């Protein structure tokens, strides 16, 4: 990122621009690249810092990282009840800086990037952990993340023909089915129970639950599960017995231990760190095998990593520069 001068300004990018400059396919490639770099020791990523707003039912998270020649920070909030105020559950801002000088380069909206990079991580997991002949996806939860997860799955596994979707709010699952079926031209149908949704080759959970939603007896041999919703202490979507019987892959061992799907089973001694098979980065970098047979149950515990945000934000920034996006004179020379 060298070659900057004191007269250069800072880009300010809104959500519409981030959507224009980053596709699902590009995000999947970028996130897989980030996972590989992390597994190879070529990234710096301190743990997330949480600021709990218990009084208001939400939290803030500071997520810094240095990867692929760029340093950045995402400041993100998670408020599950924001639908009451017609606001997104997740709101975020991303700042990228020149690592040589510390100079801010861009401030951009982070909601779309957060959603799309999380979906992309699930897509990478499906690429390596799901059966290649998978045709049916079961969605538990029908919010924004269920949308990006499905888009990324279709990107890496175009053989998908059917999607079953369950949400506690029936009208939400019905709306999801209508919108996604029209967009993807595949059969998407709301179902009445979790059991019906888990009768699938790939199961994706995207809920804020603090109690197990998917039980061991729901899952048949050969299923891949992407557990997306548990991203903070106390959250849990899968029962401990299911985790103990499966091949568990995480995005980051330390982060998953404190706030991922495995955090509650670990705290209750129902699961051990030693039972983690490895990270998705190790698999993507060919340091470990992915799926090894058609009968094993695989689980991807996704907590969301700062490196995912930064590599995607870098792509957006580079495209914005080539398009001649106006800069804001944020810093002036002394």
| Residue 90 structural domain | 10-113+307-328
Residues annotated as part of the active site: 74
Question: What would the pLDDT profile of 155-170 be if each residue is shown by its tens digit?
Answer: 999 999 999 999 999 9
Contact (Cβ atoms closer than 8 angstroms) between residue 198 and residue 218 = yes
Is 3 inside any structural domain? no
Whether 333 has a pLDDT exceeding 60, the answer reads no
Question: What would the pLDDT profile of 75-108 be if each residue is shown by its tens digit?
Answer: 999 898 998 899 988 899 999 999 999 999 999 9
Q: Are 103 and 129 found together in one domain?
A: no
Quickly tell me which residue has 């500071």 as its tokens: 62
Is 2 inside any structural domain? no
Contact (Cβ atoms closer than 8 angstroms) between residue 149 and residue 222 = no
Lowest-pLDDT choice from 83-92, 135-144, 242-251: 83-92
Beta bridge partners of 190: 165
Counting other chains too, the contacts that 318-321 makes at CB distance below 8 Å and 24 or more residues apart are: 319/21, 319/22, 320/11, 320/13, 320/17, 320/21, 320/106, 321/11
What pLDDT is recorded for position 3?
Answer: 38
CATH number of the domain at 243, please.
3.40.50.720
> What pairing do the DSSP bridges indicate for beta strands 202-205 and 224-227?
parallel
Q: Are 191 and 214 found together in one domain?
A: yes
Q: Are 175 and 287 found together in one domain?
A: yes
pTM: 0.91
Instruction: Work out how many domains the chain is built from and give that number.
Output: 2
Strands (E), 122-186: 136-140, 162-166
Kindly indicate the confidence band of residue 232, based on its pLDDT and cuts at 50, 70 and 90: confident
Q: What is the DSSP letter of 177?
A: H
């Amino acid at each position: 990122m060298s070659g900057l001068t004191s007269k250069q300004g800072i880009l300010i990018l809104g959500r519409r621009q981030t959507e224009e400059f980053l596709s699902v396919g590009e995000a999947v490639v970028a996130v897989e690249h980030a996972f590989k770099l992390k597994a190879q020791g070529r990234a710096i990523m301190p743990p997330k810092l949480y600021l709990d707003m218990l009084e208001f039912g939400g939290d803030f998270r500071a997520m810094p990282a240095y990867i692929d020649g760029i340093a950045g920070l995402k400041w993100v909030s998670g408020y599950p009840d924001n639908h009451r105020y017609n606001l997104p559950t997740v709101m975020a801002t991303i700042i990228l800086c020149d690592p040589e000088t510390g100079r801010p380069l861009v401030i951009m909206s982070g909601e779309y990037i957060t959603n799309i990079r999380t979906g992309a991580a699930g897509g990478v997991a499906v690429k390596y952990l799901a059966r290649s002949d998978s045709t049916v996806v079961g969605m538990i939860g029908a919010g924004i993340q269920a949308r990006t997860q499905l888009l990324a799955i279709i990107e890496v596994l175009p053989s998908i023909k059917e999607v079953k979707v369950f949400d506690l709010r029936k009208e939400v699952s019905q709306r999801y089915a209508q919108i996604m079926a029209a967009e993807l031209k595949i059969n998407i149908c709301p179902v009445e129970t979790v059991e019906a949704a888990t009768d699938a080759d790939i199961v994706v959970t995207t809920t804020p639950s603090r109690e197990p939603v998917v039980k061991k007896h729901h899952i048949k041999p050969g299923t891949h599960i992407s557990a997306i919703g548990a991203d903070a202490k106390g959250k849990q979507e899968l029962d401990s017995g299911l985790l103990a019987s499966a091949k568990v892959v995480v995005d980051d061992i330390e982060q998953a231990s404190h706030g991922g799907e495995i955090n509650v089973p670990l705290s209750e001694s129902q699961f051990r760190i030693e039972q983690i098979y490895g990270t998705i980065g190790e698999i993507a970098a060919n340091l470990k095998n992915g799926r090894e047979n058609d009968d094993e149950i695989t689980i991807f515990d996704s907590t969301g990593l700062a490196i995912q945000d930064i590599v995607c934000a870098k792509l957006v920034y580079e495209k914005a520069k080539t398009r001649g996006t106006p800069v804001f004179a944020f810093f002036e020379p002394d």
